[in-house]
Amino acid sequence: MKAMLIEPNGTVRPFEGEGLEAMQEAVGGYVELVSSPCYDVLVNEDGIRLQLEPNPVATAFCRFAGANVDGEIRGKAILAGKGWLK
């Protein structure tokens, strides 16, 4: 799986996990898909409720890529090309 993990502090590194459990572990909980025309981004679906740290890099990227993001992404995010979840 070719994807990147974006940390709240701005660190970006390869995400090499496989499957749903690896993705949930990476974001720290259940995953929510934030979709744009060219990219898929997975985030913690409870990031706001859990008061996770804001992730300004992931938020800015999603908005730039055309995703409909209300507020800000919180916690870690997994970024990959469109359709990589198949």
Per-residue confidence in pLDDT tens, the chain, 86 aa: 589 999 999 999 999 888 899 999 999 999 999 988 888 999 999 999 999 999 999 999 999 988 888 889 999 999 998 877 66
Number of domains in the chain: 1
Domain containing residue 22: 3-81
Q: Is residue 12 part of a domain?
A: yes
Q: Is residue 29 part of a domain?
A: yes
Whether the model pTM is above 0.95 = no
The confidence score (pLDDT) of residue 43 equals 96
Q: Angle CA(81)–CA(53)–CA(13) in degrees, nearest 5?
A: 40
The confidence score (pLDDT) of residue 61 equals 92
Maximum alpha-carbon separation in the chain: 30
Q: Is residue 11 part of a domain?
A: yes
Q: Specify whether the CB–CB gap between 43 and 77 falls below 8 A.
A: yes
Q: Is residue 59 part of a domain?
A: yes
The confidence score (pLDDT) of residue 47 equals 95
Q: Is residue 30 part of a domain?
A: yes
Q: Give, in order, the Cα–Cα distances in Å from 28 to each of 31, 32, 53.
A: 8, 11, 12
Q: Is residue 86 part of a domain?
A: no
The single residue listed with the structure tokens 């970024």 is 79
